[in-house]
Structures are given as C-alpha cells and as structure tokens.
Amino acid sequence: MPSASANYRTLLRTSGTAAFFVPSVVGRLGIAMTGIGILWLVHARTGSYAAAGLVTGGFAVADAVAGPQIGRLVDRFGQTRVIPCALGAHAGAVTLLLAGVVPDLVAGVLVGATLPQLSALSAARWSALLSGERAAALPTAFALEALANGVSYLAGPALVSVLGAAGYPSAGVLLAAALVVGGGLALAAQRRTMPPLTGRAERRHAGRALLRSVFLRQVALGLALGVFFGAMQVSVTAYAVGRGTPDAAALLYFAFNCTNLVGGWAYGAWRHGGSPRRRQAAAAACLALASLPLTLLDAPLAVGVTLAVAGLVVPVLLILSSVLIESSVPRAVLTQAFTWGNSANAAGTAGAAAVAGRVVDAVGAHGGFSVAAGAAVVMTVLALGGLRGSSQGVPTSSAPTEITEPNPPATQRDSSTNRKAP
C-alpha cells in the first residue's frame, strides 16, 4: 500500500483536483470565521452578549435553512452560474452588517442566507471526478475534506478572536467575507471539474431520493452528531470552570481537536474491507462507549484522555456519512443532499448548545456530557437500523487506492453508484 502522504499527494495531483480543492479550503476558512466574527462585532457595538448571541443564532439558522436551497439551485443551473450570484449577495449582506444601516439581526440573517456551503460544492466535484473505476478513492477524498474542515474550524475562530480582542472586530468580519468571496469565486471559475448538469425530468425523479429512508437516516445521524458537538462545547467549558481552572478548557479542546485531525487523516490512508454501513455502526458504537465515561469521570487527565479517544472516532463518522450520502442519491441532487447533511449538523450543534446549557445549569457539567453521550447512543441506534437490508446499493469496498492516470470528469454516474439502497 502506498504511504498515507503519498496517497494524499497522488489524489491532489489528479488532474484538476488541487485547482478546486485549494480555493474551497480558503473559502471554508472564511466560513469558519464568519459566525464568531459576527459575535465579536455585535458585542463591540452593543456591549451585550445576549444581543450578539441572538444575531449569531439568526445567522446560523438562516445558513442551515438556506444552504440546501442554494444547493438545489446549484444542481439545477451549475456552480459556475449560481455561486457568483450567491457570493455577490453575501458581499452585499456583509456590507449592510458592517455599515449598520439595518438592524443587526436582519443583517446577520442575510449574511447566513447568502453563504454557500463550499464543502458541499467541493464534495460534489470529488464525486464527479472520482466516479467509475476510481470511486474507491472517494473515502480518501472525503477524509481530505474532513481534514480541511477541521483545520478551518481550528484556525478560523482563533484568528477572528485575535482581531476582536485587539479591538478590530470589523476587520475579522471583513477578512472572513474576503476569504469566502475570493475562495468561492476561484472555485466557481473551475469549469472543467464542475459536476455535469442533468435534465429536468431526471431532477424531478431524483428529488424523490431525498425522501427515502436511506438518505433521511444519514441526515438524522448528522443532526445527532451536531447535538454531540454542541453539548460537548458547553460541557467542556462548564467542567473546566466548575473546577476553578477555566484555562483547562483550551487544553481539553486541543486534545479533542488534534485527535480529530489524526483520526480523519489515518482513516483516509487505510484500506478497509466490508460495508461502509457496518463501519458506520461500529464507529457510532465506539463513540458511545468513549462518551459514556464522561458522565462519571472527574479527574482532568481521565477526561482529557477520554475526549481524545472520542475525537479519533468523530471524523470517521463524518467521512462515512459523506460516502453513504454520495452512494444513495442520484447525481442530479447530490449537492443538495450534501448541504442537507451539513445543515442538519449545524442545526444540531446550535440546538444542543441551548439544551445542554440548561442541563448544565441544573445538574452540572456531567449532565451536559450525558446529553452528548445520549446523542452518540442515538447515532448507534440509527446506524444499526441502517444495517437491515443494506447489502445492496452501497459498494462493499471503499478502500482508498493509489490513483493512476487522470481521466476527464465523468458525464454520468457509474451504474454501481447510481443504485438506491432500500
């Protein structure tokens, strides 16, 4: 087997991949900065965390609701036509927010509603480029996507926080918008790797796949994983503050996020046998087993080690969810399907933060960890439910392979990936 680094390098050397992946990473860094940038900006204006949280929440909800609709337009008209329009509207919304000519909540909602989910656009391009004989490399591509998201959400909020703490909250929002617009436009300009468009009749028929249980189960898993993230964010902070060591929260987050990156990198490099659904069920069960001790543990070292173990599993679930979404819906609605998965995750994170906060106020940090563990148990149940009758519709092997001669983008989905799982 080629080394992990060689495997990733070969993937990025495939004709056209770096040209769309690198701009998508730049844009995602801006997306990761936008929410926290709005929080800093509104707090600086009003002096109120409640007002800042309300505007940031409005931004997140609008992003989650509008994202799949933008994805639907992309599937119909193509990335090159839709994304520049969305980015122009996004730039206008950010201008309104910075100028303060409309209420902050209205501006925040507009910023979220015009923000294209660049990770979904990039994933759709990987699917088109690695179809047919090269489809076995998709898990490696989706692992690369997970790594890009992980790095973006580590570096982005930290960069904005530095600017905000230095007294330049507007600069954080402006920089985020510049990265989103610049990266998004560079991505949209790559016409050669854009997923091929389909006919109206095919789109109408394909839309039914979004209502099938095999896809809805993945959306539900994404929602539960978002609940896990949201509850963890609140609980880790509450645990550190409750022990009188608030600085320890940063170390605990660091342990979780670092192993998250390691887990995603390693999974993309390994060869795997068996069904992706079985691996998803096993990963969900591992996350539940790793999370349950957090409801009882109190020693900081034990909590840190447990969080690190849980962090190894999370990216595996994200990668497998992308694999299963890609294989369960037709190409005509693939971008929309990816955005629904992302939106479910974001919605779960936002909702869980509020719920876990109430639980923590009532019973302490261990109660918040119980919410996260409960979400992991729900994921396990959902994943196990997907094993019934799952022998058809999903390739039994999604092992990353060394990519050979680059081929032009496929114009249609290979028959093995166009089948629907029952």
Residues in the chain, overall count: 422
Q: What is the DSSP letter of 284?
A: H
Which of 133, 167, 192 terminates a domain? The answer is 192
User: Residue 166: how many CB atoms within 10 A of its CB?
Assistant: 10
**Alpha-carbon torsion angle 178, 181, 186, 187, nearest 10:** 130
In this structure, the answer to whether residues 30 and 145 fall within a common structural domain is yes
Residue 202 lies in a domain: no
Residue 342 lies in a domain: yes
- CA gap 186, 24 in Å, rounded: 8
In this structure, the answer to whether residues 156 and 186 fall within a common structural domain is yes
Domain count, the chain: 2
In this structure, the answer to whether residues 220 and 171 fall within a common structural domain is no
- CA gap 56, 68 in Å, rounded: 19
Which amino acid is it at 268?
Answer: G
Residue 405 lies in a domain: no
User: Residue 209: how many CB atoms within 10 A of its CB?
Assistant: 18
Residue 203 lies in a domain: no
Residue 199 lies in a domain: no
Q: From first to last of its 422 residues, what are the pLDDT tens digits of the chain?
A: 455 566 777 788 877 888 999 999 999 999 999 988 998 999 899 888 788 888 988 898 899 899 999 999 999 899 999 999 999 999 999 999 999 999 999 999 999 999 999 999 999 999 988 877 777 788 889 999 989 988 998 888 888 888 988 889 999 999 999 999 999 999 999 998 898 887 776 766 777 778 888 899 999 999 999 999 888 988 888 888 888 887 788 888 888 988 999 998 888 877 656 688 999 999 999 999 999 999 999 898 999 999 999 999 999 999 999 999 998 888 888 999 999 998 998 888 878 877 888 888 888 899 999 999 999 999 999 999 888 745 444 443 334 444 443 334 433 443 333 333 33
Nearest to 181 by CA among 105, 91, 247: 91
Angle between helices 334-363 and 300-328 (to 10 degrees): 150
User: Which domain CATH number covers 180?
Assistant: 1.20.1250.20
Which of 144, 160, 192 terminates a domain? The answer is 192
In this structure, the answer to whether residues 129 and 233 fall within a common structural domain is no
> How many CA atoms, within 13 angstroms, populate the side-chain half-sphere of residue 61?
12
Q: What is the DSSP letter of 329?
A: S
In this structure, the answer to whether residues 149 and 250 fall within a common structural domain is no
In this structure, the answer to whether residues 254 and 176 fall within a common structural domain is no
CB 366 within 8 A of CB 359: no
In this structure, the answer to whether residues 224 and 185 fall within a common structural domain is no
Residue 17 lies in a domain: yes
In this structure, the answer to whether residues 160 and 306 fall within a common structural domain is no
Which of 144, 161, 192 terminates a domain? The answer is 192
Residue 200 lies in a domain: no
In this structure, the answer to whether residues 87 and 223 fall within a common structural domain is no
In this structure, the answer to whether residues 230 and 187 fall within a common structural domain is no
In this structure, the answer to whether residues 163 and 222 fall within a common structural domain is no
In this structure, the answer to whether residues 161 and 230 fall within a common structural domain is no
Domain that holds residue 327: 208-397+412-422
Residue 218 lies in a domain: yes
- Reading the block at residue 63, the tokens are 């992003």
**Range list of H helices, 130-247:** 138-165, 169-188, 200-206, 213-242
